[in-house]
Amino acid sequence: MDKETHSFEAIINNNLSGRDLDEFNRIYYGRTNHLEVPIKESSIAVAKDNNFDIAAYAFPAKKESTRPPRIVKVGIIQHSIVVPTDRPINEQKNAILTKVKKIIDVAGQEGVNILCLQEFWNMPYVFCTREKHPWCEFAESAENGPTTRFLRELAVKYSMVIVSMILERDENHGGVLWDTAVIISDTGNIIGKHRKNHIPRVGDFNESNYYMEGNTGHSVFATRYGKIAVNICFGRHHVLNWMMFGQNGAEIVFNPSATIAAEGGSEWMWNVEARNAAITNCYFTAPINRVGYEEFPNEFTSADGKPAHKSMGLFYGSSYFCGPDGVRCPGLSRTKDGLLIAVMDLNMNRQVRDRRCYYMTQRLDMYAESLRKVLDLEFKPQVVYENEK
Amino acid sequence: MDKETHSFEAIINNNLSGRDLDEFNRIYYGRTNHLEVPIKESSIAVAKDNNFDIAAYAFPAKKESTRPPRIVKVGIIQHSIVVPTDRPINEQKNAILTKVKKIIDVAGQEGVNILCLQEFWNMPYVFCTREKHPWCEFAESAENGPTTRFLRELAVKYSMVIVSMILERDENHGGVLWDTAVIISDTGNIIGKHRKNHIPRVGDFNESNYYMEGNTGHSVFATRYGKIAVNICFGRHHVLNWMMFGQNGAEIVFNPSATIAAEGGSEWMWNVEARNAAITNCYFTAPINRVGYEEFPNEFTSADGKPAHKSMGLFYGSSYFCGPDGVRCPGLSRTKDGLLIAVMDLNMNRQVRDRRCYYMTQRLDMYAESLRKVLDLEFKPQVVYENEK
């Protein structure tokens, strides 16, 4: 491939216009008008100087007479690593922190209330290598690590809730590692943390060599701006993970991810899974993916019969927001750093639930019983054979 | 709107070409080449004479050394009603049977092994009216009704399993109605039936005034050609309905539907939900929607503040197939009758499961327990508050 496609949106906007574009937007995104929200000139200038994209879209709700609107400004950031992976660990990490701080500053200037970073935002996606040294050195304490300390300051400065996705080292339990979301309050306190529930075992995603399935259930975090939860990366494929966040009252569920375009990748599923979760659970979702190529010092194989190599291929970005009605906004690019902002009225969640009745018609009692049966070692699937008659 | 858009595919193919088209197809459908399968000249001629579309696509699997390929030809039909809804019930029904027989004959000529018809294929979607008379007269016995008898003959003639979606009258239980899939074997026997598990209560979809939630569990039907199941219409929004068919061993799950493009409709969700189900459950899915406008004798309202009217708006067709890897084929049109065929190797299901490990990583034990807790009237959602600290 000569050059990476900039974005799905670029393909559409460069080729479609008039009624064809309107119909495409209606059928694909769910609305003909993306409801773009203006960005400050100063933010656009900083974004240009620092080579990241910035865009904002509105997700309004109907006016109610018994509740005021609950407008929240939510931001997500996608970005590449900065220095080569053979540099010292702290140099790699600090270079990312320094770069991303500029994007967070712009989010602050734009009045973002809740900000979520990508999975393992402060490091390369090292798990493809299966090497423990030196990569485990990226692990930090969720409560007191340098990355958390760095973000607490920014959270207070901008009165912003920040979700930070790190490789956690749990010193209180033998120093084991976890894939962890740290929820930092706008007060600078840690509200809590959530550990990834479903760990991949496929291709270059060798995370099961580093940490186990999470033990923090399906926590929803009550922030000043709304109830949020984090379905981490591979949990995207697990509909019950999404569902339990909804049952626990989440209004916005982030899906910080690291996923690639290469063969066996996930690009055609990216528009499907977080969006289906928004629809069936009637809440906002925000899938976030890193961008760029990451080359490692030593070669590794991808269990696909192909020769060893030093890079997994393109992390394709394309982060976006989806409303509880399944309507989504355009995504960020496939190749560039970016800040995407949604101005959402959280009242929409209940409005969609009242209209569509997906929760009311769930029949959870039937399924709790069905799953119990499936778990039985003597489980007999409900199969009807013709010759039984 | 001047004229209905023919199809999502027409928008793309009329405007994109070269590398842009390839990249669109890769990112949207999951492959740059749709793997079109040739159709017989005679079938194309019949389709043209009878004003329906016909297309076929392949979904191949890797070669295995311990199992032969399991190639199955699967067909789905979408169609409009034929005569006005003020004609006598049997005249309306027979006109549809006569029209659809021509499409089934072509499916037979093409060697289709398993055929699924749309929801309530032998009648208009009458539930928008909320009128019981005369519409309940469309109901039939699943085992011995005229529609089942009509299809049993065609099933034997073409050695074809046929899934027939009817309004069932259950004479053995007070003559109540159900929304039912009748699974007719290639031998002409009835393998069994499945009743819709989740009933809508929204807009014009007033089905809950006519019948209750199904009582047939999540039956999978072992046909000569493979194990099939039917997630009927509104069940599309319920991820646990899809999941239980997978747990019971379904290889192909049909989703016969009746859904509209109008405001509050579902068109932007159509590509998302059945496709997400294919991905997370690693099986083939086939959503089917009726086409056209249906005008009723008496006006009705749609609970959306708008004036009374006699039609729900466009049923937008767009039926398609999706593989267990999430790769889908182009859909049928939004406006015309059509027969869509997939030549699928069912070996792909296990191959995708072995690769992606979505079943292995499901943690069903955790969720069976979580759902049990949710059902408790004293359930306390898992919410973390900052001021608890």
Whole-number pLDDT of residue B167: 98
- Using a CB-CB cut-off of 8 Å, the residues of chain A touching B242 are 239
CA distance B182 to B75: 16
- Using a CB-CB cut-off of 8 Å, the residues of chain B touching A272 are 271-272, 275-276, 279, 326
B377 vs A261 pLDDT, higher one: B377
Is there a contact between A280 and B273 if contact means CB atoms under 8 Å apart?
Answer: yes
Between A27, A190, A381, which is nearest B249 by CB? A381
Q: How far is the alpha carbon of B303 from chain A, nearest alpha carbon, in Å?
A: 10
> Predicted confidence band at B1 (pLDDT cuts at 50, 70, 90)?
very low
pLDDT at B118 over 70: yes
Whole-number pLDDT of residue B288: 98
Q: How far is the alpha carbon of A10 from chain B, nearest alpha carbon, in Å?
A: 9
Which alpha helices (DSSP H) does A248-286 contain, by range?
A: 270-281
| CATH, range A35-388 | 3.60.110.10
- Using a CB-CB cut-off of 8 Å, the residues of chain B touching A240 are 239-240, 243, 362-364, 367, 370
Between B27, B248, B361, which is nearest A381 by CB? B248
pLDDT at A263 over 70: no
> Predicted confidence band at B127 (pLDDT cuts at 50, 70, 90)?
very high
Whole-number pLDDT of residue B263: 66
Range scoring the smallest mean pLDDT among A262-271, B23-32, B126-135, B194-203:
A262-271
Between A198, A268, A386, which is nearest B28 by CB? A268
Whole-number pLDDT of residue A262: 77
Report, as an integer, the average pLDDT of B72-82: 98
Percent with pLDDT over 70 in chain B: 98
Report, as an integer, the average pLDDT of A17-27: 97
Between A219, A269, A368, which is nearest B382 by CB? A219
Nearest CA-CA partner of B225 in B121, B75, B120: B75
CA distance B170 to B312: 28
Whole-number pLDDT of residue B388: 67
- Using a CB-CB cut-off of 8 Å, the residues of chain B touching A356 are 202, 237
Write out pLDDT tens, residues B32-59: 999 999 999 999 999 999 999 999 999 9
The chain A residue lying nearest B369, using CA atoms, is A368
Write out pLDDT tens, residues A66-75: 999 999 999 9
A215 vs B266 pLDDT, higher one: A215
Is there a contact between A361 and B280 if contact means CB atoms under 8 Å apart?
Answer: no
Report, as an integer, the average pLDDT of B288-292: 97
**Phi, psi (deg, nearest 5) at residue B250:** -65, 140
Q: Could you state, in order of their start, the residue ranges of all structural domains in chain B? A: 1-31, 34-388
Whole-number pLDDT of residue B262: 77
Is there a contact between A375 and B384 if contact means CB atoms under 8 Å apart?
Answer: no
pLDDT at B265 over 80: no
Q: Do A167 and A125 meet the contact criterion of CB atoms below 8 Å apart?
A: no
Catalytic residues of A: 119, 196, 233
Q: How far is the alpha carbon of A86 from chain B, nearest alpha carbon, in Å?
A: 31
Do the strands A309-311 and A383-385 form a parallel or antiparallel pair, or are they unpaired? unpaired
pLDDT at B389 over 60: no
Whole-number pLDDT of residue B264: 65
pLDDT at A352 over 90: yes
Q: Which CATH class is domain B34-388?
A: alpha beta
Report, as an integer, the average pLDDT of A280-295: 98
Whole-number pLDDT of residue A332: 98
Write out pLDDT tens, residues A192-229: 999 999 999 999 999 999 999 999 999 999 999 999 99
> Predicted confidence band at A284 (pLDDT cuts at 50, 70, 90)?
very high
Residue to mutate among B227, B240, B260, B362, with most A CBs inside 10 A, is B240
Between A197, A217, A243, which is nearest B382 by CB? A217
Whole-number pLDDT of residue B38: 98
Whole-number pLDDT of residue A229: 98
Amino acid identity, position B389: K
Write out pLDDT tens, residues A330-339: 999 999 999 9
pLDDT at A1 over 50: no
Is there a contact between B222 and A14 if contact means CB atoms under 8 Å apart?
Answer: no
Q: How far is the alpha carbon of B176 from chain A, nearest alpha carbon, in Å?
A: 20
Residue B124 contacts by C-beta under 8 Å, 6 or more apart in sequence? B81, B85, B92, B294, B296
ipTM: 0.97
Whole-number pLDDT of residue A261: 86
pLDDT at A387 over 90: no
Report, as an integer, the average pLDDT of B117-126: 98
Nearest CA-CA partner of B265 in A20, A61, A27: A27
Whole-number pLDDT of residue A3: 82
Q: How far is the alpha carbon of A251 from chain B, nearest alpha carbon, in Å?
A: 12
Residue B28 contacts by C-beta under 8 Å, 6 or more apart in sequence? A8, A268, A271
The chain B residue lying nearest A241, using CA atoms, is B367
A/B interface, count of CB pairs below 8 Å: 254
Write out pLDDT tens, residues B234-258: 999 999 999 999 999 999 999 999 9
CA distance B364 to A374: 8
pLDDT at B12 over 90: yes
> Predicted confidence band at B233 (pLDDT cuts at 50, 70, 90)?
very high
Write out pLDDT tens, residues B180-226: 999 999 999 999 999 999 999 999 999 999 999 999 999 999 999 99
Residue to mutate among A367, A369, A385, with most B CBs inside 10 A, is A367
Between B30, B368, B381, which is nearest A375 by CB? B368
CA distance A239 to B362: 9
Q: What is the pLDDT of chain A when averaged over all its residues?
A: 97
Percent with pLDDT over 90 in chain A: 97
Q: How many CB atoms lie within 10 A of CB B389?
A: 10
pLDDT at B298 over 60: yes
- Using a CB-CB cut-off of 8 Å, the residues of chain B touching A222 are 383-386
Report, as an integer, the average pLDDT of B48-72: 98
Beta strands in chain A (DSSP E): 52-59, 71-78, 114-116, 161-170, 176-184, 190-195, 220-223, 226-230, 252-257, 284-289, 291-292, 295-300, 309-311, 315-316, 337-345, 383-385
Is there a contact between B191 and A386 if contact means CB atoms under 8 Å apart?
Answer: yes
